[in-house]
Amino acid sequence: MCRWAGSSRPNGTRGLGGTLTRVLERVTVTSYLAPLREGGSLPGLVEADNLGTYVLKFRGAGQGPLALVAEIIAGELARALGLRTPELALADLDPRIAASEPDEEIQDLLRASSGLNLAVDFLPGSAGFDPLGWTVDEDFASELLWFDALTQNVDRTWRNPNLLVWHGDVWLIDHGAALYFHHDWSRAAPDKPFDARQHVVRDRATRLKQAHERLAPLITAATLERITGDVPPEWFGERGADAYIDQLLNRAPLVPEVIRL
């Protein structure tokens, strides 16, 4: 069941310019349905007290809470730029739910993740994006590549697109590998090159100049303050929200220069 995804259900108030000011919903996990054994983090399909079905990203998974920080900042930034991405929510997980799970590995993960985690709205019937069978237009491809270069998302390759096709539209998912500089802030540099040679839509991204002209002005301090404000403060690592804001504000004007095709 998908209650809402992308921009089809308001969850906040209208701001300047007709944009939607959102606040992440807070839900409580009521049941664990199944593991999604793709990738190393072992996310799970869960139901919540608002009757929604979500993909739960666990705070206690191997990548730790920084992966969830990246999911929120990159995911909500994509939404602010007009790119489709499933709704996010903060989800409380009761450790007692682990007792009903027979798999010991999943039991351990559920117990290690008791408390607050990240829930991603489940898109029923969606299909993985196949670059050989699905063509995107040049404007979307250019904006997607620009966005990934801004957030330094290295996990959008033709081998692993992290895109879903749902109701004929392409949706962005799985941003835990973005903002990788936060694992070592000494290497954070706004002008760090972005290798786009393996990017899934590289060949279609022929309008990067136009994408930059549209998207760069949308990267404002106010937008980034709102987005980073959705991150639970205890999830930040070595540095807090201000460091992410500075990094993205300083990188946005440089995006065309850092992309390596």
DSSP per-residue codes, 68-116: HHHHHHHHHHHHHTT-----EEEEEE-GGGGGG---HHHHHHHHHT-EE
Q: How high is the pLDDT of residue 23?
A: 84
Q: At what angle do helices 138-151 and 208-215 cross, to 10 degrees?
A: 60
Write out the chain's pLDDT in tens, 261 residues.
233 333 333 344 333 333 445 689 999 999 999 999 765 678 999 999 999 999 999 999 988 999 999 999 999 999 999 999 999 999 999 999 999 889 999 999 999 999 999 999 999 999 999 988 889 999 999 999 999 999 999 999 999 999 999 999 999 999 999 999 999 999 999 999 999 999 999 999 999 999 999 999 999 999 999 999 999 999 999 999 999 999 999 999 999 999 999
Q: How high is the pLDDT of residue 16?
A: 33
- Does the global pTM surpass 0.75? yes
Residue where the block lists tokens 């730790």: 64
Q: Which two tokens stand for residue 125?
A: 């019937």
Q: Which two tokens stand for residue 149?
A: 């270069």
Q: How high is the pLDDT of residue 38?
A: 67
Q: How high is the pLDDT of residue 157?
A: 96
Q: How high is the pLDDT of residue 121?
A: 98
Q: How high is the pLDDT of residue 42?
A: 87
Residues 6+ apart with CB under 8 A from 42: 35, 36, 58, 61, 105, 106, 109
